Amino acid sequence: MKKMLATLLLSGGCSAAGAQTAAITVPLGTPVMLATTTDLSSRSNVKGDMVPLRVDEDVAIDGRRVIARGTEAVGQVIDARAKGAMGMSGRLVLRPLYVRAGERVVRLSGQSIDKASVTAGAVIASVAVGPVFTGRSASIPSGTRLSAVVEKTVQLPPLD
Protein backbone atom coordinates (compact mmCIF):
# COMPACT_ATOMS: atom_id res chain seq x y z
CA MET A 1 0.00 0.00 0.00
CA LYS A 2 2.84 2.41 0.86
CA LYS A 3 4.55 1.64 -2.46
CA MET A 4 1.33 2.31 -4.36
CA LEU A 5 0.80 5.67 -2.60
CA ALA A 6 4.41 6.70 -3.23
CA THR A 7 4.08 5.76 -6.92
CA LEU A 8 0.90 7.80 -7.25
CA LEU A 9 2.46 10.82 -5.58
CA LEU A 10 5.57 10.64 -7.71
CA SER A 11 3.79 10.09 -11.00
CA GLY A 12 0.88 12.50 -10.55
CA GLY A 13 1.91 15.23 -8.15
CA CYS A 14 5.48 15.84 -9.19
CA SER A 15 5.02 15.89 -12.94
CA ALA A 16 2.91 19.06 -12.79
CA ALA A 17 5.33 20.71 -10.39
CA GLY A 18 8.27 19.57 -12.49
CA ALA A 19 6.76 21.16 -15.58
CA GLN A 20 6.45 24.50 -13.76
CA THR A 21 10.08 24.53 -12.62
CA ALA A 22 11.69 22.94 -15.66
CA ALA A 23 15.24 24.16 -16.08
CA ILE A 24 15.99 26.62 -18.84
CA THR A 25 19.09 26.20 -20.97
CA VAL A 26 21.33 29.27 -20.81
CA PRO A 27 23.56 28.85 -23.87
CA LEU A 28 27.22 29.63 -24.30
CA GLY A 29 27.64 33.27 -25.32
CA THR A 30 24.54 34.61 -23.54
CA PRO A 31 25.33 38.24 -22.61
CA VAL A 32 25.48 39.18 -18.92
CA MET A 33 25.83 42.86 -18.03
CA LEU A 34 27.81 43.41 -14.83
CA ALA A 35 28.90 46.43 -12.79
CA THR A 36 31.73 46.97 -10.33
CA THR A 37 30.68 47.48 -6.70
CA THR A 38 33.88 49.10 -5.44
CA ASP A 39 36.44 51.55 -6.78
CA LEU A 40 39.43 49.75 -8.29
CA SER A 41 42.83 51.33 -8.89
CA SER A 42 46.25 50.32 -10.12
CA ARG A 43 47.52 52.03 -6.93
CA SER A 44 45.82 49.56 -4.61
CA ASN A 45 44.82 46.50 -6.65
CA VAL A 46 47.27 43.86 -7.78
CA LYS A 47 47.14 40.95 -10.18
CA GLY A 48 45.12 38.11 -8.68
CA ASP A 49 42.81 40.26 -6.53
CA MET A 50 39.25 38.94 -6.43
CA VAL A 51 36.73 41.77 -6.84
CA PRO A 52 33.01 41.91 -6.15
CA LEU A 53 30.69 42.59 -9.07
CA ARG A 54 26.91 42.57 -9.47
CA VAL A 55 24.57 41.71 -12.33
CA ASP A 56 23.40 45.06 -13.72
CA GLU A 57 20.50 43.82 -15.90
CA ASP A 58 18.20 40.81 -15.63
CA VAL A 59 19.26 37.89 -17.82
CA ALA A 60 16.28 36.33 -19.61
CA ILE A 61 15.93 33.41 -22.01
CA ASP A 62 12.76 33.38 -24.14
CA GLY A 63 11.21 36.00 -21.86
CA ARG A 64 11.90 34.04 -18.65
CA ARG A 65 14.31 35.54 -16.11
CA VAL A 66 17.09 33.18 -15.04
CA ILE A 67 19.50 35.62 -13.35
CA ALA A 68 18.15 38.65 -11.49
CA ARG A 69 19.59 42.15 -11.52
CA GLY A 70 21.62 42.68 -8.35
CA THR A 71 22.86 39.08 -8.13
CA GLU A 72 26.40 38.98 -6.79
CA ALA A 73 29.20 38.07 -9.18
CA VAL A 74 32.97 37.73 -8.85
CA GLY A 75 35.78 39.03 -11.03
CA GLN A 76 39.55 39.00 -10.85
CA VAL A 77 42.28 41.52 -11.62
CA ILE A 78 44.33 39.76 -14.30
CA ASP A 79 46.80 42.59 -14.91
CA ALA A 80 47.74 45.60 -12.83
CA ARG A 81 50.62 48.00 -13.31
CA ALA A 82 51.19 51.01 -11.11
CA LYS A 83 52.08 54.34 -12.66
CA GLY A 84 55.75 54.90 -13.24
CA ALA A 85 58.33 57.57 -13.96
CA MET A 86 58.71 59.20 -17.35
CA GLY A 87 54.97 59.21 -17.90
CA MET A 88 54.46 55.46 -17.81
CA SER A 89 50.74 55.06 -17.25
CA GLY A 90 49.01 52.63 -14.94
CA ARG A 91 47.09 49.64 -16.27
CA LEU A 92 44.25 47.65 -14.78
CA VAL A 93 42.56 44.67 -16.44
CA LEU A 94 39.55 43.00 -14.85
CA ARG A 95 38.02 39.68 -15.91
CA PRO A 96 34.60 38.47 -14.79
CA LEU A 97 34.79 34.92 -13.42
CA TYR A 98 31.33 33.76 -12.35
CA VAL A 99 27.90 34.58 -11.01
CA ARG A 100 26.11 32.34 -8.53
CA ALA A 101 22.49 31.77 -9.59
CA GLY A 102 20.87 29.90 -6.74
CA GLU A 103 22.86 26.71 -6.24
CA ARG A 104 24.50 26.91 -9.69
CA VAL A 105 27.72 28.67 -10.66
CA VAL A 106 27.57 30.30 -14.08
CA ARG A 107 31.07 30.76 -15.51
CA LEU A 108 31.67 34.01 -17.39
CA SER A 109 34.25 35.46 -19.73
CA GLY A 110 35.06 38.95 -20.99
CA GLN A 111 37.25 41.76 -19.71
CA SER A 112 37.41 45.43 -18.85
CA ILE A 113 40.58 47.44 -19.31
CA ASP A 114 41.55 50.87 -18.05
CA LYS A 115 44.86 52.30 -19.15
CA ALA A 116 45.58 55.76 -17.85
CA SER A 117 47.30 58.16 -20.16
CA VAL A 118 49.43 61.23 -19.86
CA THR A 119 48.25 64.44 -21.47
CA ALA A 120 50.28 65.88 -24.32
CA GLY A 121 50.92 69.00 -22.21
CA ALA A 122 52.53 66.94 -19.47
CA VAL A 123 54.86 65.29 -21.97
CA ILE A 124 55.88 68.64 -23.51
CA ALA A 125 56.40 70.15 -20.05
CA SER A 126 58.59 67.24 -19.04
CA VAL A 127 61.01 67.98 -21.84
CA ALA A 128 61.40 71.59 -20.69
CA VAL A 129 61.57 70.85 -16.95
CA GLY A 130 63.30 67.48 -17.01
CA PRO A 131 62.04 63.96 -16.45
CA VAL A 132 60.35 64.51 -13.09
CA PHE A 133 56.73 63.59 -13.83
CA THR A 134 54.97 60.31 -13.44
CA GLY A 135 52.06 58.84 -15.32
CA ARG A 136 48.54 58.49 -14.01
CA SER A 137 47.11 55.54 -12.13
CA ALA A 138 44.50 53.47 -13.91
CA SER A 139 41.15 53.28 -12.18
CA ILE A 140 37.79 51.62 -12.63
CA PRO A 141 35.16 53.43 -10.52
CA SER A 142 32.33 51.71 -8.67
CA GLY A 143 29.33 51.27 -10.95
CA THR A 144 31.40 50.83 -14.11
CA ARG A 145 29.52 48.51 -16.48
CA LEU A 146 31.28 45.44 -17.78
CA SER A 147 30.05 43.15 -20.55
CA ALA A 148 30.46 39.43 -20.01
CA VAL A 149 29.15 36.30 -21.67
CA VAL A 150 28.27 32.85 -20.36
CA GLU A 151 31.35 30.70 -20.89
CA LYS A 152 29.68 27.30 -20.63
CA THR A 153 26.07 26.26 -21.29
CA VAL A 154 24.18 25.79 -18.02
CA GLN A 155 20.68 24.78 -16.91
CA LEU A 156 18.95 27.24 -14.55
CA PRO A 157 15.47 27.33 -13.03
CA PRO A 158 13.31 30.29 -14.07
CA LEU A 159 12.88 33.03 -11.47
CA ASP A 160 9.27 33.87 -12.37
pLDDT tens string 81-92: 876 544 557 788
Domain ranges of the chain: 23-156
Q: Residue 28 CB: number of other CB atoms within 10 A? A: 12
Phi and psi at 17, nearest 5°, equal: -65, -40
Which pLDDT tens digit goes with each residue over 132-144?
444 577 888 999 9
Write the single-letter amino acid at 140: I
Beta-bridge partners for 53: 36, 73
What's the CATH number for 23-156?
2.40.128
What pLDDT, on a 0 to 100 scale, did the predictor assign at position 91? 82
